[in-house]
Amino acid sequence: MPVQDAGVRTSGAEPRHGRRIVVMWAIASAIVDPLFYLLAGPHMPPGDMTSSAAGAQFDFNVLTMAALPVIIGVCIYGAYTLFTWRASRGGPDPVMTPTSRSNIRIQTAWIGTTTVVVLSAFVFGTVELVVPAGAGGAEGPQPIWTPTSKTVLPVQVIGQQWKFTYRYPTYGGFETDKLVIPDNTTIAFHVTSLDVIHDFWAYQLGVKADANPGTDNVAFTTTRALGKVTVRCDELCGIWHGAMYNYGEVVPKAQFQQWATSTEASLVAATKLLPPFAWSYTPSANGAGGSYYPDNVDAFSKTEVYGAGAVSAKAAAQKSS
């Protein structure tokens, strides 16, 4: 930009304000960005207990690395201009220059830069969503981005006013109020509700999906480490929404196997009283707290698989029948 005398400070040559701002911005960004990534990055939520949590953490850090220079840039620009060109009342107005009203080069550069940044964010976000099979987010009843793992443990999450329960269809469909899942396994959470809309938020797992009545909402993740999990309801569901939480745990595979089979055996009488397992249930017309009965669209199949194996498994199932 050509240097023009703004008529504010007349002593000495006008410094090159633009270059100063750019230099300050570049130095500050070069310091803050790596500091953030190295010091804060590994501790950013939601941790790295699962593939989706680690993905969310990585995306969060990348977005912050992009956002910090923008915030720093605007703030440095603002502070510099406010400090340099502050004035008390009186005195002449700054003389208008040809570029005071518009500057086609700056405007084009601005629009071009923001467009490139925004489109990059879009491409990055889409890749990070599609490649890790929905990134732990809700994928509706028919997920199109599915995990490549051939064995998937389905866990049904049932929300009702005001608690979460979990059914394990591959273990006879027993129902517990503690979420136990094995390590190093791809989990398919089938989230549904018996009354109003809830939201299953397993914070450390990086999984979130609305529990809609009459709908099977699927979210995938792959566990990577052992640890405790907090589950909270994340969609306002009535007066006890704030108290709708429980806990879970990621345990070693063998321990999970043992827990699941023993729980299935100990709960076998109670499971018989439950409605047969289904992907969703029709709530009682009387609203909250009522009993529920199956609205069985697809009977559950133990051989249900996702990803690369899905087509061949279905074909095999048809052939055998």
Partner 1 sequence: MAISTHEPVGVGHPGGMPPGGAAVRRRSAWLGQHMGTAALAAVIGYTIGHYVGNSFANGYENVAANGQNDVSNVLALTFAVVGWLLGSGALNYPIAKLVGREPAPEIEEKGVGRFFRYSLDHKVVAMQYVIAVLLFLFTGGLLAMAVRTELLSPTTHYFGPGTYIALVSEHGTMMMMMATSVITGPIAGWLLPLMIGSRRMAFPRVEAFSLWTFIAGYMVILTALPYGGFPTGWTGYAPLQTQASGGMDSYLVGFIVVGSGMIAAGFNIAVTIINYRAPGMTWSRLPIFVWSLLAVASLLALATPTLATGCLFGILDRTAQTSFFVDEHGGSSFLWENLFWFFGHPEVYIMALPGFGIVGEILPVFTRKPLFGYRVGAAGMLGVALLSFFVWQHHLFQSGINPDMRPLFMLTTELISIPTGFIYLTAMGTLWKSKIRFEVPMLFALALYFNFLLGGISGVYLSDVPVNVTVHGSFFVMAHFHYTIMGGLIFAFFGGLYFWLPKMTGKVMNKKLSLIHFWMMFIFFNATFFPLFIVGLLGQPRRVFEYAQRLQGLNDFSTISAYLLASSFIVFTINFAWSIFIDPKPAPSNPWDSLGLEWQVPTPVPFNNFERIPLILADPYHYGEPTHTPVADLGVPAMALAGGGGGGGGVSGGPVAGAPIVDGEGGASDV
Task: Give the pair of three-digit tokens for residue 137.
Answer: 């987010």
3-state secondary structure of 100: coil
Q: How far is the CB of 118 from partner 1 (least distance, A)?
A: 5
Identify the CA nearest to 198 among candidates 146, 240, 248, 233. 233
Which of 107/266 has CB closer to partner 1? Answer: 107
Q: How far is the CB of 10 from partner 1 (least distance, A)?
A: 13
Q: How far is the CB of 90 from partner 1 (least distance, A)?
A: 10
Q: How far is the CB of 77 from partner 1 (least distance, A)?
A: 6
- Amino acid in position 121: A
Which of 102/320 has CB closer to partner 1? Answer: 102
CA–CA separation, 205 and 315 (whole Å): 33
Q: How far is the CB of 265 from partner 1 (least distance, A)?
A: 33
Sheet harboring 174-176: ordered strands across? 174-176, 163-168, 152-160, 186-193, 217-222
Sequence-ordered list of residues with C-beta below 8 angstroms from that of 97, at least 6 positions apart, any chain: 4
Which of 134/173 has CB closer to partner 1? Answer: 134
Which of 59/304 has CB closer to partner 1? Answer: 59
Task: Give the pair of three-digit tokens for residue 124.
Answer: 């990055």
Which of 165/230 has CB closer to partner 1? Answer: 230
Q: How far is the CB of 285 from partner 1 (least distance, A)?
A: 6
Which of 118/299 has CB closer to partner 1? Answer: 118
Quick check: 180 and 173 in contact, CB under 8 A?
no
- Cis ω for the linkage preceding 94 (within 30 of 0): no
Return the C-alpha torsion angle 28, 33, 36, 42, nearest 10: -170
The angle subtended at Cα 229 by Cα 226 and Cα 230, nearest 5°, is 170
